[in-house]
């Protein structure tokens, strides 16, 4: 009977050196040095080779289950857990974390990944080749540069509508400094989150954003100057620089944070059965605390660029829509299709034709300011429009068809330059 022995390249190299020792071409010490084993181990290998031949050089562990093999009961428990409907979409890393937290089963993410592949739950993804971009040096200090962005997504999956998650990520530490679910990405939503962030951490040196219309006026046309947005105006007063990135790759830190949030945050809220965005906003602080513990890094410098917020600053005033209007001689202001009467004890000439500052907050409240003082406004009710006055004859007039020889009927019908009169059929 013929036997076939499968040997690895390492075992074939060992066979070569053992035969050289037997032929007395090299010593046991030289063979041990080449194979990276001790002289005592070489003697064991020689003894097995003389007794069993080539089979004595093959590892005795081959074909046997590993001593580190996952226990059968544990494997069955894991397979049952990863197949649960609520765990749909979980990746190997997050699945391994949840196994440890909820089931007390501590396995490496690679072990979990192999089990998920065996069950047909996970499929290896090929990463798309991206165009190379020049890397931007990471800032060294916390608060030196804060990347801000909004991500519209179905955060509650089928349990609720889509919403936008606003995220502020520090460039030096990758920690999330502020986040909030809002219905849409707009000036007021960013303003509300900025107010919370400034009160909690202070004022950063600069913000890094995309070119969304909140941050940059993209319809400046042929103007000789670049108009500023309401958000830029507010940050200018606070002495916070706003930098608009030219590509998503430039603000990759917040983009990657959004990808992680769209994976982890969605599944965490699914496990907690969060069904509305009020509950989601209440859960965010706890999630951010765990996120920063896992993914935040230590900055290169211990210096913190955040500046304390001036207590005299009115953030609600700064993050309102600011506009200007001129007062009419009758002390009226017209704004957004509504007329307001200024109520004052001053004579009319004091305010007439003067320019005032109009502010509108997120609730739609309109205020007027003159020389830093708040004016008292009273909305003027619109008078109902009066219908046009017409005579009975005009109202009951019936349009008559034109005569048979009217130019409208003979237009374009000529022979030798003379018009042809058409007649109406009386049949």
* pLDDT tens across the length of the chain (427 residues): 566 777 777 878 888 888 888 888 888 888 888 888 888 988 888 888 888 877 777 777 777 777 777 777 888 888 888 888 888 888 888 888 888 888 888 888 888 888 888 888 887 776 666 666 667 788 999 999 999 999 999 999 999 999 999 999 999 999 999 999 999 999 999 999 999 999 999 999 999 998 888 888 877 655 556 678 999 999 999 999 999 887 777 788 898 999 999 999 999 999 999 999 999 999 999 999 999 999 999 999 999 999 999 989 999 999 999 999 998 888 889 998 889 988 888 887 788 888 999 999 999 999 999 888 898 899 888 777 776 777 777 777 777 887 766 777 666 666 555 655 544 444 4
Distance CA 261, CA 239 (A): 30
Query: Which pair of tokens denotes residue 337?
Result: 């299709």
Are 158 and 177 in contact, with CB atoms under 8 Å apart? no
Task: Look at residue 112 and give its three-state secondary structure.
Answer: helix
- Phi and psi of 279, rounded to 5°? -65, -40
Roughly what angle, to the nearest 10 degrees, separates helices 28-35 and 39-52? 100
Checking 286-290 for CB contacts under 8 A at 24+ apart, the result is: 288/176, 288/179
| Alpha carbon distances (Å) from 381 to 154, 303, 342, 384 | 43, 57, 14, 9
DSSP codes, 291-343: HHHHH----SS--B--BPPPTT--HHHHTSEEEEEEPPTTSEEEETTEEEEEE
Residue with tokens 């410098």: 301
Query: 367: part of which helix (H) or strand (E)?
Result: strand 366-370
The reported pTM is 0.70
Facing residues of 339 across strands?
Answer: 334
Task: Look at residue 186 and give its three-state secondary structure.
Answer: coil
Task: Look at residue 344 and give its three-state secondary structure.
Answer: coil
DSSP codes, 216-266: S-S--TT-SS-PPPHHHHHHHHHT-EEEE-SSGGGGHHHHHHHHHHHHHHH
Task: Look at residue 84 and give its three-state secondary structure.
Answer: coil
Distance CA 262, CA 154 (A): 9
389 HSE (CA, 13 A, CB side): 0
């Amino acid at each position: 009977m013929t036997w076939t022995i499968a040997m690895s390249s390492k075992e074939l190299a060992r066979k070569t050196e053992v035969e050289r020792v037997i032929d007395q071409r090299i010593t046991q010490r030289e063979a041990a040095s080449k194979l990276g084993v001790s002289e005592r181990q070489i003697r064991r290998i020689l003894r097995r080779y003389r007794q069993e031949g080539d089979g004595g050089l093959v590892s005795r562990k081959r074909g046997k289950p590993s001593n580190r093999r996952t226990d059968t009961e544990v494997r069955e428990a894991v397979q049952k857990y990863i197949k649960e409907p609520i765990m749909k979409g979980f990746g190997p890393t997050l699945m391994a974390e949840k196994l440890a937290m909820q089931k007390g089963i501590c396995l490496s993410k690679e072990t979990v990944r192999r089990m998920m592949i065996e069950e047909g739950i996970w499929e290896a993804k090929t990463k798309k080749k991206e165009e190379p971009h020049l890397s931007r040096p990471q800032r060294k200090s916390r608060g030196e540069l804060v990347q801000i962005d909004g991500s519209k997504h179905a955060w509650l999956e089928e349990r609720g509508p889509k919403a936008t998650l606003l995220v502020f990520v520090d460039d030096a530490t990758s920690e999330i400094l502020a986040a909030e679910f809002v219905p849409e990405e707009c000036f007021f939503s960013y303003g509300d989150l900025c107010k919370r962030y400034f009160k909690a951490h202070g004022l950063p040196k600069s913000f890094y954003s995309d070119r969304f219309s909140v941050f940059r006026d993209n319809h400046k046309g042929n103007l000789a100057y670049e108009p500023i947005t309401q958000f830029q105006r507010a940050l200018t007063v606070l002495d916070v620089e706003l930098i608009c990135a030219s590509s998503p790759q430039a603000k990759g830190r917040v983009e990657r944070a959004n990808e992680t949030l769209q994976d982890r945050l969605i599944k965490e809220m699914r496990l907690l059965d969060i069904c509305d965005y009020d509950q989601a906003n209440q859960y965010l602080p706890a999630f951010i605390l765990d996120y920063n513990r896992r993914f935040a890094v230590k900055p290169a410098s211990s210096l913190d660029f955040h500046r304390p917020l001036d207590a005299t600053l009115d953030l609600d005033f700064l993050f309102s829509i600011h506009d200007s209007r001129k007062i009419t001689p009758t002390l009226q202001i017209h704004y957004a299709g509504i007329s307001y009467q200024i109520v004052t004890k001053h004579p009319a000439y004091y305010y007439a034709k003067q320019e005032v500052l109009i502010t509108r907050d997120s609730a739609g409240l309109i205020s007027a300011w003159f020389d830093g003082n708040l004016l008292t406004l009273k909305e003027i009710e619109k008078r109902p429009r009066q219908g046009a006055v017409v005579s009975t004859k005009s109202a009951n007039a019936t349009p008559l068809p034109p005569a048979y020889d009217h130019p409208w009927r003979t237009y374009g019908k000529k022979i030798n330059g003379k018009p042809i009169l058409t007649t109406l059929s009386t049949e």
